[in-house]
Structure formats: C-alpha cells, structure tokens
Amino acid sequence: MTEVLPLLKRVERIEKELEELKIELMRLEADRPPYADDVIEEDMIEAEKALEEIMTGKVKPLSVEELKRLLEEDG
C-alpha cells in the first residue's frame, strides 16, 4: 500500500503537466498564422536550406536597398 501513494502522486504531477501542455498547445495554435496550413513540406525544406546558407555565409542576404532596387526593376 505504501508503494501506491508515490505512484498516485506521480500520476497527479503528470496529469497536471499534461493539462499545462494542452493549454500551451492551444495558445500556440491560436497564434499560428492562418496560412500555415498552405505551406508544403518542399517549401519548408527550401526555406531551411536557404536559411542555413545565409547562416553559414554561403549566401549573402539582400540589403533593403538592393531589394528595393530589384522590386523597382520588376515593377
């Protein structure tokens, strides 16, 4: 019987943590952009690859001025 009490306390702690995680998940889902479901796995892989190239210095990100110039050329 004495072995059951610690198990019950552990179950209570785990249940409380589970409830906290459920609340956090609801918050995250509420904060998620509405277009998040439209992003396909290939786009995510491409974005992660581009970010990695920027972070490792393989690719230099555009400055604001460069981006404006490119947009004006297209427009």
Q: What is the pLDDT along the chain (75 residues), one digit of tens a residue?
A: 678 888 899 999 999 999 999 999 999 888 877 676 677 888 889 989 988 998 898 988 888 899 889 888 876
Indicate whether 71 and 44 sit together in one domain: yes
Residue-level pLDDT at 23: 92
Shared-domain flag, residues 28 and 44: no
The pLDDT value recorded for residue 1 is 60
Angstrom distance (rounded) from CA 1 to CA 31: 46
pTM over 0.85: no
Whether residues 54 and 75 share a domain: the answer is: yes
Q: What is the pLDDT of residue 3?
A: 86
What pLDDT, on a 0 to 100 scale, did the predictor assign at position 75?
Answer: 66
Which DSSP string corresponds to the chain?
-TTHHHHHHHHHHHHHHHHHHHHHHHHHHHHS-GGGGG--HHHHHHHHHHHHHHHTTSSPPPPHHHHHHHHHHH-
Residue 24 lies in domain: 1-32
